[in-house]
Structure 1
């Protein structure tokens, strides 16, 4: 697991989500404010996350609801512009997540210099977005073809708002995904953004793939982060950093600071045990 130190400069890293407002082409894009409003809101959130001490930031088109599984060109172009304009102020490692299109995520990573992507790379699902199919072999070949082989791949193996079309235990999914696809990390999630990741599921996944990085992908809070990091190798955090802990709000700097204080305490305790 040396790559965690290489990318994030710490063990048990916290990856903070920078949720972008709806973008051009999205149903809820605010045309009155335009891209300038999207960029300014992203800047405020990014700076608040950095000042609060997070280990990395992941830019995501979180408010491109309802999501596509093959995104439009304007989405990737908009995200590239946003990250490009914020680059000079970005001081921590960053990743990207173009929901829900792994090929587009890799394209954006190469264009911007992102260190990692998180996506649904494997599986076939019945989802809120229709029948959701993937082709990991094609995506990994594309990764190599565009020179993105050093971009770390975070595989979300519990897609939000979706279920495998056939019943498979999560431990079986974890084992076969690691064997067949060689992910850099597995992300274990709750049912939606902000919903706590089951500690028992995290433990089961970590037990069956002990040599693979396992992240708690949703629902981390200041109140549970110590117990979650005792099992997980790190976490992805979005909702907990927002005003009143609500998904639709922007980042609350005080919540970031309070959360990261608990993270530093958890790391210290784990080091001394």
Structure 2
């Protein structure tokens, strides 16, 4: 049994993304509609995801584009307000992802009671956002300083729109990341949100991290979830749950229910127990 059973309620878990609209300080924030509109759209997507039967939800500032690697205070404050207003309506385990700032993600988790965070914790990258560095030792020390040591850490080892500066294969990255950092999970991604995770890369990572949870982090759909979940321990799903399967759209409750009904049938057929039904 992995920690997924205790924290999320099932093996082969589906963590659904609740993508927040642009926030104050973001270039595309809608000042006329304001934060009230952002909260209401988040509420609408959250309800659609939960009614469709997802196992967990992860809130992220997905539309704070272009992303920062040193996120501003106003972004974290806005995300905390949204989650705070929705707290009484959240009935599944939830996590947070402040793109792309690991310490701010932990700050938000500590403030809201999130069970997990997903971030880029390790490595140095050439990215669309410039040279992207990390400091995992300081980040983990920060986690303990703020009392967030029980928050599960999902390490994204294939960051979107970025490439390791060192010439390292994914297998060695997975192996050394597990040895040096003891992550709760490794996330394997495609190039961008919605891009399918390469099953061969996914398998290579799982072969190196046999005792660590591995997630297919992008591009899991109704057409490929069985293939992906036959390798991975779970999946993070965002785009596939949206109207017409488009990243920029809101969540389509019918797509969510159809997807989750099939996933639950797959789990039942393969004897993966669920605590939440």
Task: State TM-score, norm by structure 1.
Answer: 0.99
Please name the residue that 2:215 is paired with.
215
Please name the residue that 2:158 is paired with.
158
- CA deviation profile, 1:75-114 (whole Å, cap 9, x unmatched): 0000000000000000000000000000000000000000
Please name the residue that 2:275 is paired with.
none
- 1:20-99, aligned counterparts within 5 Å? 20-99=20-99
- 1:98-247, aligned counterparts within 5 Å? 98-247=98-247
| Structure 2 Cα separation of the partners of residues 2 and 246 of structure 1 | 32
Q: For the aligned residues, what is the CA RMSD? A: 0.8
| Structure 1 Cα separation of the partners of residues 24 and 209 of structure 2 | 40
8 Å CA contact retained: 1:226, 1:262: no
How far residue 269 of structure 1 moved from its aligned partner, in angstroms, is 2.5
Runs of 4+ more than 4 Å apart: none
| Structure 1 Cα separation of the partners of residues 269 and 206 of structure 2 | 20
Please name the residue that 1:16 is paired with.
16
Aligned residue for 2:57, secondary structure, equals: strand
Match status 1:259 vs 2:259: yes
- CA deviation profile, 1:126-164 (whole Å, cap 9, x unmatched): 000000000000000000000000000000000000001
8 Å CA contact retained: 1:229, 1:266: no
Give unpaired runs (5+ residues) of structure 1: none
8 Å CA contact retained: 1:230, 1:270: no
How far residue 171 of structure 1 moved from its aligned partner, in angstroms, is 0.4
How far residue 47 of structure 1 moved from its aligned partner, in angstroms, is 0.4
Task: Give aligned pairs, total.
Answer: 272
| Structure 1 Cα separation of the partners of residues 151 and 166 of structure 2 | 31
How far residue 123 of structure 1 moved from its aligned partner, in angstroms, is 0.2
Task: State TM-score, norm by structure 2.
Answer: 0.97
8 Å CA contact retained: 2:2, 2:11: no
How far residue 2 of structure 1 moved from its aligned partner, in angstroms, is 3.0
8 Å CA contact retained: 1:22, 1:63: yes
How far residue 266 of structure 1 moved from its aligned partner, in angstroms, is 1.6
